């Protein structure tokens, strides 16, 4: 199965709780795996398997949780 490697810059994370929130919202999405969120580098990286959510949906999920993704 082929997967797409995604990296977002995430603005607005200030603590470990924020990291956990972003990790959780991404992990819940269909087809998403290997979620790694880095507070210091403001980065969220993960994989999306074929047939999983779109990159835009993943971005929206982060923004719905109160952060800015780009």
Q: Is 15 a binder of Cu ion (CB under 5 A)?
A: yes
At 9, give phi and psi (nearest 5°). -90, 130
Q: Is 14 a binder of Cu ion (CB under 5 A)?
A: yes
Which of 17, 40, 50, 51 touches Cu ion (CB under 5 A)?
17
Q: Which of 26, 36, 17, 33 is nearest to 57 (CA)?
A: 26
Q: Which two tokens stand for residue 40?
A: 């210091």
Q: Is 65 a binder of Cu ion (CB under 5 A)?
A: no
Please report how close the Cβ of residue 19 comes to Cu ion at its closest, in angstroms.
7
* Residues at the site binding Cu ion, with contacts judged by CB under 5 A: 14-15, 17-18
């Amino acid at each position: 199965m082929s997967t797409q490697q995604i990296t977002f810059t995430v603005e607005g994370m200030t603590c470990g709780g924020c990291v956990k929130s972003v990790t959780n919202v991404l992990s819940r999405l269909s087809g998403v795996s290997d979620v790694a969120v880095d507070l210091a580098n403001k980065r969220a990286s993960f994989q999306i398997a074929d047939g999983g959510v779109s990159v835009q949906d993943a971005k929206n999920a982060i923004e719905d949780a109160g952060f800015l993704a780009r």
